[in-house]
Amino acid sequence: MNPFTVHTGLVAPMDRANVDTDMIIPKQFLKSIKRSGFGPNLFDELRYLDEGQPGADCSRRPLNQDFPLNFPRYQGASVLLARENFGCGSSREHAPWALEDFGIRSIIAPSFADIFYNNCFKNGLLPIALDAADVERLFASMHAEEGYRLTVDLERQRVVEPDGRETYFDVDEYRRYRLLNGLDDIGITLEHADAIHRYEAQAREARPWLFDAVAAGEPQEQGV
């Protein structure tokens, strides 16, 4: 995973509440067994006028000219400005994969759905929850100024506007540390292997029925 420290980038809007992960990446693209290549299908049903198919050449598809991410002024955007409960619905990590593949590095919204929020950090994406009033101000500034850029500083936990105004954001210390350093989660957890083994020994003693059931093979009888 790439580290995330400070990022400055063009801001684009996704101006609706409850953007769900079906909207971020529709189900037909979930059949891929890869982690990459989802960018052209980000917001597929909003971005194009036809129905997207896996493997189709998106450069030949009719674009929805009313969808902001297709506006010339937002080309190359890497900061997405969004509304309440962004990323609700399915747990599909294909959603952050698609955003990341498209070039988004950070999403700013008043609130996020839990699973999506968590998935972002695993993929070098920084979701930032700000007060609704702050988000409203950023929307207004973005609309007012073509080429509007924001700086997202994870080290100092600040969103910096072009006029120098800074807004603090909260982020869990463990997630911040890993993202700043681009660390592999599994490697860190495996440093605690002894504690996991100790827990297992104690749990096996206290709740033995939780162990070995499935490995014991076929169930005795087909139950209904």
Q: Does 133 bind another protein (CB under 8 A)?
A: no
Rounded Cα gap, residues 129 and 159, in angstroms: 11
Q: Does 60 bind another protein (CB under 8 A)?
A: no
For helices 114-121 and 173-181, angle between their N-to-C axes, nearest 10 degrees: 30
Subset of 15-54 contacting another protein (CB under 8 A): 16-18, 20, 22-23, 26-28, 30-35, 45, 51, 54
Residue that has been written with the tokens 């700043």 in this structure: 180
For residue 67 the two structure tokens come to 């969808």
Q: Does 153 bind another protein (CB under 8 A)?
A: no
For residues 162 and 208, which CB has a smaller minimum distance to another protein in the complex?
Answer: 208
Tell me the torsion sign for CA atoms 165, 172, 102, 82: negative
Q: Does 78 bind another protein (CB under 8 A)?
A: no
Q: Residues binding another protein: what is the number (CB under 8 A)?
A: 70
Closest approach of another protein to the CB of residue 151, in Å: 24
Residue that has been written with the tokens 């096996």 in this structure: 204
Strands 126-129 and 106-109 turn out to be: parallel
Measured CA to CA in angstroms, residue 60 lies from 72, 166, 193 at distances of: 17, 42, 51
User: Which residues sit at the interface with another protein, rule CB under 8 A?
Assistant: 16-18, 20, 22-23, 26-28, 30-35, 45, 51, 54-55, 83-85, 88-93, 96, 111, 113-115, 118-119, 122-123, 172-174, 177, 184-186, 189-190, 192-193, 195-196, 199-200, 203, 207-217, 219-224
